[in-house]
């Protein structure tokens, strides 16, 4: 049985060794050849394939979606670099993207218990005051029998989502409730004067897909307040002209709202450039990642065509990644579509999303890296198994490749390959420090970063680098 890797400072050449024997021809050593160009500054990019990990599927002959997908560029990175497991969701924390992605961006989510509603609202630049609680509100479709049919109203467009939000705001905003419009099916509710909402428990809409909604009500001191708000919103939506138009067009109407994920005013998230000595930029089609970026001082870049669903323009997002790398030390590229397809139970849709990320985003990054020094880290944030349509807190596979990173004999970025590597990064928020170290990857560079969660001291961050404040534009390119 393969064991988790641990760092040994007595290894030959300062190499990283596992309790189980590592391949002798593929250690992570300071003398490993990089095989990458040396001109220009070393950049780093993190590609987040949201929810791409999962369980074995009968339709794929016992393979997972990552295993079934055709991913030649991720496969090449696996052969050129290191594949392992990373635990992005600490024990006892909710397996949500706000927890997992906070880890990926290099922060311990236990140090920043903000609450997702407040975190996403930060992306809109809406400040919270003391005594206010921000909650996520989904526009959902519930069947006449009371079953959660769609947690996103079939991934409703932002245009229609905003129009419905305007109707709800006109009817429901008052001294207690204030609604804000987000992306697609996402709205946000700020409640004033009811801090006990933080002690109320909720079921996220996507966690009760195909289940009776009445069996998963809010519970706690302010549960009735929320139930009353949801009931009033249902009446507004039943009379909505936007919903009547959608029905006439053969589109799913938003019959209800689902309120969950409370959060309070964010407190003092450390600036990314001060923490890591790097200027970073981020692109995502969802408010959550933009909220993390806003609080961490990471530049938020918006590129036309980047969305939160299967209509995402992957090529535009790939071009955007190159533009961010042209003017920043670190680029974060978050792609929501595998997770959205996982929540919908769309097996082929999830596979197609992973393949599109590989083809249009990772492929462009590998071409860029052929001419410039670039480290690439690609990973899901959490699993979203298609059978359950819900997140889990299990470790996820990652691949890291680029100058200074020698291969560990992996062939693909899959759950099985990562498990067999014997390498686990736990806690996951330390993985980014490994990516950003400007020396070849070794136990001396990674001390306290790689290995079991055993109370090892954390490595100090790299020294500060000059910062560039410009946000990039995508250069015009011909057809590819």
User: Is residue 234 packed enough to be buried (19+ CB in 10 Å), middle (13-18) or exposed (0-12)?
Assistant: middle
Determine the average pLDDT of the residues in 7-24.
24
Q: What per-residue confidence (pLDDT) applies to 232?
A: 98
Give the three-state DSSP class for 429.
Answer: helix
Quick check: 401 and 84 in contact, CB under 8 A? Answer: no
- Given the DSSP bridges, would you call strands 374-379 and 43-49 parallel, antiparallel or unpaired? parallel
To which H or E segment does residue 397 belong? Answer: strand 396-401
What span, in angstroms and rounded, lies between the C-alpha atoms of 434 and 361? 22
Percent share of the chain, pLDDT over 90: 71
**Closest by Cα among 69, 68, 71 to 363:** 71
**Closest by Cα among 436, 475, 106 to 326:** 475
Residue indicated by tokens 């009547």: 244
Measured CA angle at 66 (ends 65, 71), to 5 deg: 125
Quick check: 425 and 87 in contact, CB under 8 A? Answer: yes
Q: Does residue 37 or residue 477 have the better pLDDT?
A: 37
- Confirm whether pTM is higher than 0.85: no
Determine the average pLDDT of the residues in 154-178.
97
For 27-36, the pLDDT digits (tens) are: 222 222 334 4
What span, in angstroms and rounded, lies between the C-alpha atoms of 263 and 273? 25
Report whether pLDDT(406) > 70: yes
To which H or E segment does residue 76 belong? Answer: helix 72-80
Give the three-state DSSP class for 337.
Answer: helix
* Structural domains present in the chain: 12-109+330-446 (3.40.720.10), 118-263 (no CATH)
Angle between helix 241-248 and helix 158-172 axes, rounded to 10 deg: 150
- The overall average pLDDT reported for the chain is 84
């Amino acid at each position: 049985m393969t064991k988790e890797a641990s760092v040994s400072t007595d290894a030959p050449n300062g190499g990283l060794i596992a309790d189980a024997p590592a391949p002798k021809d593929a250690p992570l050593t300071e003398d490993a050849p990089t095989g990458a160009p040396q001109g220009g500054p070393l950049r780093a990019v993190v590609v987040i394939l949201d929810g791409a990990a999962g369980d074995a599927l009968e339709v794929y002959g016992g393979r997972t979606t990552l295993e079934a997908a055709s991913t030649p560029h991720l496969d090449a990175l696996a052969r050129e670099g290191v594949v392992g497991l990373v635990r992005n969701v600490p024990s006892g924390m909710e397996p949500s993207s706000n927890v997992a992605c906070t880890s990926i961006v290099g922060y311990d989510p236990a140090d920043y218990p903000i609450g997702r509603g407040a975190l996403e609202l930060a992306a809109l630049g809406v400040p919270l005051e003391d005594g206010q609680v921000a909650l996520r509100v989904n526009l959902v479709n519930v069947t006449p029998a009371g079953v959660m049919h769609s947690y996103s109203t079939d991934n409703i467009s932002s245009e229609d989502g905003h129009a419905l939000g305007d109707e709800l705001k006109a009817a429901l905003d008052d001294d207690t409730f204030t609604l804000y419009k987000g992306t697609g099916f996402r709205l946000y509710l700020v409640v004033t004067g009811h801090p006990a909402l933080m002690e109320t428990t909720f079921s996220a809409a996507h966690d009760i897909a195909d289940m009776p909604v009445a069996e998963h009500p809010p519970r706690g001191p302010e549960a009735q307040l929320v139930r009353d708000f949801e009931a009033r919103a249902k009446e507004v939506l039943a009379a909505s002209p936007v919903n009547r138009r959608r029905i006439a067009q053969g589109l799913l109407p938003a019959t209800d709202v689902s309120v969950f994920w409370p959060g309070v005013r964010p407190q003092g998230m450390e600036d990314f450039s001060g923490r890591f000595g790097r200027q970073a930029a981020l692109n995502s089609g969802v408010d959550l990642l933009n909220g993390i970026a806003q609080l961490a001082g990471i530049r938020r870049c918006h590129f036309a065509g980047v969305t939160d669903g299967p209509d995402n323009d992957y090529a535009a997002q790939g071009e955007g990644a190159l533009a961010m790398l042209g003017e920043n030390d670190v680029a974060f590229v978050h792609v929501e579509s595998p997770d959205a397809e996982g929540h919908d139970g769309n097996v082929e849709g999830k596979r197609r999303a992973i393949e599109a990320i590989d083809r249009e985003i990772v492929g462009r990054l590998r071409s860029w890296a052929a001419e410039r020094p670039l480290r690439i880290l690609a990973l899901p944030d959490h699993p979203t198994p298609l059978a359950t349509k819900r997140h889990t807190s299990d470790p996820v596979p990652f691949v890291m490749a680029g100058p200074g990173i020698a291969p560990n004999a992996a062939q693909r970025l899959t759950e099985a390959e990562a498990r067999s590597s014997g390498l686990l990064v736990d806690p996951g928020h330390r993985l980014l420090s490994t990516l950003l170290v400007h020396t070849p990857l070794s136990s001396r560079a990674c001390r306290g970063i790689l290995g079991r969660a055993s109370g090892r001291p954390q490595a100090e961050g790299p020294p500060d680098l000059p910062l560039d404040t410009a946000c990039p534009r995508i250069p015009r390119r011909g057809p590819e």
